[in-house]
Amino acid sequence: MLSIFDGIRSVTPYSVCIRMILALFCGGIVGLERSFKNRPAGFRTHMLVCLGANIASATGLFLYLNLHLPTDLSRLGAQVITGLSFLGAGTIIVTRKNTIKGLTTAAGLWTTGIIGLAIGAGFYEGAIIATILILLAETWFAKIGKKITHITEIKCEIHYEHKEDLDKVMRFCKDHNLAINNLQVVHDANTGTNPVYYVARITLSTIRNINRHELLLRIRTMEGIQHVESLDD
pLDDT for the residue numbered 98: 56
Confidence of residue 177 (pLDDT cuts 50, 70, 90): confident
Buried-state track 148-176, b at ≥16 Cβ within 10 A, e below 16: eeeeeebbbebbbeeeebbebbeeebeee
HEC states along 112-129? HHHHHHHHHCCCHHHHHH
Q: Over the stretch 43-65, which tens digit does the pLDDT of each residue have? A: 888 898 999 999 888 888 888 87
HEC states along 169-224? HHHHHHHCCCEEEEEEEEEEEECCCCCEEEEEEEEEEECCCCCHHHHHHHHHCCCC
Q: Which amino acid is at 158?
A: I
Confidence of residue 129 (pLDDT cuts 50, 70, 90): very high
For the CA atoms of 113, 119, 123, 129, the dihedral, rounded to the nearest 10 degrees, stands at 70
d(CA 113, CA 83): 10
CATH fold label, 152-230 = Alpha-Beta Plaits (3.30.70)
Angle made by CA atoms 31, 104, 32, in degrees to the nearest 5? 15
Predicted confidence (pLDDT) at residue 194 exceeds the cutoff of 60: no
Identify the H or E element spanning 30: helix 13-36
pLDDT for the residue numbered 24: 92
Average of per-residue pLDDT values in the chain = 82
**63 or 40, higher pLDDT:** 63
Q: Over the stretch 22-32, which tens digit does the pLDDT of each residue have? A: 999 999 888 88
Q: Show me where the domains of the chain are located.
A: 3-146, 152-230
Question: What pTM did the predictor assign?
Answer: 0.63
| Length of the chain, in residues | 233
Predicted confidence (pLDDT) at residue 233 exceeds the cutoff of 70: no
Confidence of residue 99 (pLDDT cuts 50, 70, 90): low
Of 160, 179, 145, 172, which Cα lies nearest the Cα of 227?
A: 160
Rounded to the nearest 5°, which phi and psi values hold at 100? -100, 130
| DSSP conformation class of 37 | T
